[in-house]
Amino acid sequence: MRFRDEYRAPAAAQGYARAIAKAATRPWTLMEVCGGQTHTIVRYGIDQLLPVGIELVHGPGCPVCVTPVEYVDKAIEIASRPGATLCSFGDMLRVPGRGGDLLGAKSRGADVRIVYSPLDALAVARAEPAREVVFFAVGFETTAPANAMAAWQARRQGLANFSLLVSHVLVPPAMRAILDAPANRIEGFLAAGHVCTIMGTREYEPIAARYRVPIVVTGFEPLDILEGVYMCVRQLEDGRAAVENQYVRSVRRAGNLRAQALMGEVFRVIPRRWRGIGDIADSGLGLAEAYADLDAERRFGAVRTVGEAAGECISGLVLQGARKPPECPAFGTRCTPERPLGVTMVSSEGACAAYYRYRGAPRPAETESAGA
C-alpha cells in the first residue's frame, strides 16, 4: 500500500539508527505520546535498534485506557436499560468496569452495538426511532471532530432519540502533567501525528518553551519513528527545545481548521479524570451548553467520580511512563489479553498488549525470583 511499505524499508531504518548513534553523545529519555506509535516501536523492535542510552518511554495516548472506570460502568448501566441501545467503538467492549465489561453485559442481553464510525450510531437512531440510542464518545483530538459531527448532524436532523456519553481527553494538558511530576525523566517528546493532523502544532510551542523540551510531531511507520527520534536527539544535543514536524505529509502547522471549528461549536474544555493517572485540569471535552440536551448524562443520570480500587495492576504507572509492561510481576502470567487485569492489556493501543502480542509472555526464569 502506498505511503506504508516504503516507510518500512530495512536499509533506511538502519541508516537512521546509524545517524542516531552518531548524533548521541550521552543518554536521552524520550516519550512517544501515542499508543499507535508504541505498537510500531514494539512490533518492529525500534527500541532494540536504537543505541544504548536512547530510551523510549511509552506515553498515555491510549484513549480506551484512560477512559475513567465510572464511564464504563455508566455505559453498561445504560446498555442494560430496556429500550436503550449503546453504540461503541469495538475496543471499549473488553475494558473492565467495576462490575464487568460491555461484552459481558452484551452476553447477558444488554443492547450493545459495535460501530466503526459515530455516523453509524446516528444511522441506528434513525432506523430505530423507538429506541434511545447512546453513542459512547471517547478518544483524543483525532476522534473529537467525527464525534462532534455526529452531534451536529443529530441536531440538524432533529433526532430526539440520540445522545452521547462523552469522555473525551486532550493531549497537551497530559504532557504538562507528565512534565510537572516530581519524578519526571522525559527530556523530549515524539508528539502524536494524528492528533496534530487535527490540532496543528502551535499549542505545543508554549510547552516546548516553558519546559525546555524538544517536541517532534511524529508519524506511525517505523521510519517516521526513527526520523522523529533522530530529530529529537539532534535538538537535545544542540541544546534546542523547539516544536518540529516530522510528519509533514499529514500535519500542517494550523491543523485542520474545519475540524477544529466544529469541535469548538459542539464541545467545551472541562476538567477530566484520567483512568490510572488522576484529575488533570482543562484536559477534557464535554458538550457545549448549546448541545447539552444531547448529553446522555442528562438523560440517564450524571456519572459520579469514584476512587480507583488498589489492586495488582500497575497500568497507571505504565500510562505515565513510570514502568514498562515487563516490569509488572503479573505481566503475561496472571495478566494476559484473554484475562486482563487492566486496561493497558485490553486495548489494541495499550502498551501491555503491544509487548504481549509482539514479544510474548516472559519465560518462567524471568518471572520467578526464586527460580534457578
Partner 1 sequence: MRVGRVDFGGVVKEINLAFVPEARIGDHVLVHVGFAITVIDEAEAARVFEHLREIGELAEDGAAP
124-153 residues in contact with partner 1 (CB under 8 A) are 142-143, 145-146, 149, 153
Q: Does 12 bind partner 1 (CB under 8 A)?
A: yes
Number of other CB atoms surrounding residue 134 within 10 Å? 27
State the minimum distance, in angstroms, from the CB of residue 184 to partner 1.
30
Note whether 45 binds partner 1 by CB under 8 A: no
Rounded Cα distance between 112 and 75, Å, is 9
Q: Is-contact 149 180, C-beta < 8 A?
A: no
Note whether 259 binds partner 1 by CB under 8 A.
Answer: yes
Q: Is 249 in the site for partner 1 (CB under 8 A)?
A: yes
Rounded CA-CA distance 21/13 in Å is: 12
Residue whose C-alpha is closest to residue 340's, from 33, 40, 64: 64
342 binds partner 1 (CB under 8 A): no
The cell numbers describing 46, all together, are 525500534
Distance, CA of 31 to CA of 53 (rounded, Å): 14
- Alpha-carbon torsion angle 249, 253, 254, 259, nearest 10: 40
Closest contact distance (angstroms) between CB of 139 and partner 1 is 8
How many positions of this chain bind partner 1 (CB under 8 A)? 42
Place of cell 510547552: 207
Closest CB 166 distance from partner 1, rounded Å: 15
Q: Which stretch binds partner 1 (CB under 8 A): 68-76, 99-107, 165-173, 256-264?
A: 256-264
Q: What residues from 260 to 279 belong to the interface with partner 1 (CB under 8 A)?
A: 262
Torsion of CA 87, 92, 93, 97, to 10 degrees: -110
- Of the pair 218, 320, the CB lying nearest partner 1 is at 218
**Which residues would be at the binding site for partner 1 (CB under 8 A)?**
1-3, 6-7, 10-12, 14-16, 18-19, 89, 116-120, 142-143, 145-146, 149, 153, 194, 197-198, 223-224, 227, 230, 246, 248-252, 256, 258-259, 262
